Amino acid sequence: MMRILSVVAVSFLALAASNALATNLLQNPSLDFDGGVASGAESATADFWTRTGFTDTGNPDPETTSLFEPWAAHNADPGARGLWFKSFLGGALWWSNPPSPVDSDLYQDVPGMAGETYELSAWFKYEKYYSGLNPLQPTQTLLAIDFLAADLSILASSMLDVDEVIPTLPDGTGDGQWYQFSVGGVAPAGTAFVRARASMVDGTFSYRINPQGQWEGLNPQSAFVDDFVLTPEPATGLALLALLVLRRR
């Protein structure tokens, strides 16, 4: 009976540890809250998150390159919002010489620990002609974990190029559906913070060459991201608890 109780107790501890470790480390992961209120209004800010961006002239201007919008939300909850990547504001290669793309980063930093494994997930949606899917465009859309030193310098990064893995229509264009993706990595020595990040790099106006051999713009051509989850990997703790169970037998 004592052995059974020990196994049950440790199993309960394993479940509790798993639930604790699975807790989302991010604050305002849905991007809904701005000034403590989830109003569902368009805004350039979201509580606990930082946006950076550069226009096609190279000037810092995150408000131009992305915005929080209610119609960009992954879910239909009251007050819900998501981030709208405005890639189309970047000069298209055919009308700009040299090319003049736009960038936008969204990130949140949380305390981290060297040696821990972290996983970040988020939901993405691409409109039909988003430039990240256009082989003529340089755009990359990234889901990334950056491991930072105490001075916030980047020690290492784990990145997923969402453009390479998101499902598309048979013609290679976006299907307008939401998909969840994840990326993971082990924090290197010296890690003090972990940064959860989504980035649009080199966003440009999307275009094609029509059957008449003419350049023409394409619409719609935006991308959206929402509902982030950053968790430490529970495998190490669970393996230790499982070992304790085996030793009591």
Q: From the CB of residue 155, how many other CB atoms can be counted at a distance below 10 Å?
A: 16
Q: pLDDT value at position 218?
A: 86
Instruction: Output b/e per residue, 199-216; b: 16+ Cβ within 10 A.
Output: bbbbbbbbbeeeeeeeee
Per-residue pLDDT of the chain (249 residues; tens, 9 = 90+): 333 333 333 333 343 444 444 799 999 999 999 999 998 999 999 999 999 886 655 555 555 789 999 999 999 899 999 999 999 888 755 555 555 788 999 999 999 999 999 999 999 999 999 999 988 788 999 999 999 999 999 999 999 999 999 999 999 999 999 999 999 999 999 999 999 999 999 998 888 888 898 888 889 999 999 999 999 986 444 333 333 333 333
Q: What angle do CA 104, 168, 212 make, to 5 degrees?
A: 90
CA pair distance 89, 66, nearest whole angstrom: 10
CATH level 2 (architecture), domain 25-232 = Sandwich (2.60)
Domain extent listing, the chain = 1-22+234-249, 25-232
**Tell me: the pLDDT tens digits for 100-135?**
788 999 999 999 999 999 999 999 999 999 999 988
32: CB partners within 8 A, 6+ apart: 38, 40, 46, 73, 77, 79, 80, 81
Q: pLDDT value at position 217?
A: 82
